[in-house]
A and B are shown apart, each in its own frame.
Chain A
């Protein structure tokens, strides 16, 4: 099956610093990647959609200057949380798909804790 990796799996940072999370599709070309945020015992909340070579499309209420997304290749997307604050602490999950109607494959997630 299709495999999506995320790195790091856990990160702890101080308030005010920036954190970068990588998402890679290991065995297929991901024309579209998604970034989600998940709070405890809740479903996934879509933050943004990125297509390779294009600017990301952010969901309403998501600050694009705070959550920088880059999808520079068909196998790599990055999410940078800039000037992180404790309220940014969460579980961040990426997903990838190759065709518009096809299933998304999810990464294992990144647990971000901001002190």
Chain B
């Protein structure tokens, strides 16, 4: 069965303290892996799409990487405004074109 797991569940960082969020996946085949940011009471905001192992994408303080089993979202020198829930979603080759979501990582960056 296709599965996506995110860790940690919650993370508190001091401003400027870099860290990484993990998204591990077990799927029959990977079509794509997607990262989103969600603020309370809002819809998820698209961040990155990764399609193949070794691929990397960057945007401001965020960098997403992909291996054959997991993806990391690296946050460099975070600021309080980076506080949000970060969601990982996977598209599998199982035949359905629906996202398999992880449960998310709640990030809090303290000033």
A residues less than 8 Å from B102 (CB atoms): 43
Q: Which of A13-21, A70-78, A82-90, A97-105 contacts B (4 or more CB under 8 A)?
A: A97-105
A5 CB → nearest B CB, Å? 10
Tell me the total A-B contact number using a CB cutoff of 8 A: 53
Contact A43 B103 (CB under 8 A): yes
Selected interface stretch from B13-21, B29-37, B74-82 = B29-37
Q: Which of A1, A32, A105, A111 contacts B97 (CB 8 A)?
A: A32
Number of B positions contacting A (CB below 8 A): 22
Task: Decide yes or no: A103 and B46 within 8 Å by CB, A43-B87, A43-B102 being known contacts.
Answer: yes
A104 to B49, CA, bound (A): 10
Q: Pick the contact of A93 from B31, B43, B51, B91 — CB < 8 Å?
A: B43
> Is B8 in contact with chain A by the CB < 8 A criterion?
no
| Contact status of A49 and B98, CB under 8 A, knowing A103-B34, A104-B34 | yes
Partner of B45 from the list A34, A46, A106 (CB cut-off 8 Å) is: A106
Are A109 and B42 in contact (CB-based, < 8 A)? yes
Q: Which residues on A sit within 8 Å (CB–CB) of B36? A: 106
Q: How far is the CA of A93 from the CA of B34 in the complex (A)?
A: 17
Q: Which residue of A lies closest to B103 (CB)?
A: A43
Docked pose: A93 CA to B36 CA in angstroms: 14
B window 1-54: CB within 8 A of A? 31-32, 34, 36, 41-46, 49, 51
Bound complex: CA of A107 vs CA of B44, how far in Å? 8
Q: Inside 8 A of A101's CB, which chain B residues have their CB?
A: 31-32, 51, 91, 97
Q: Are B99 and A104 in contact (CB under 8 A)?
A: yes
Q: Would you give 11 A-B contacts (Cβ < 8 Å), ordered by A?
A: A4-B43, A34-B99, A43-B103, A43-B104, A46-B98, A93-B44, A103-B32, A103-B46, A103-B49, A106-B46, A109-B43
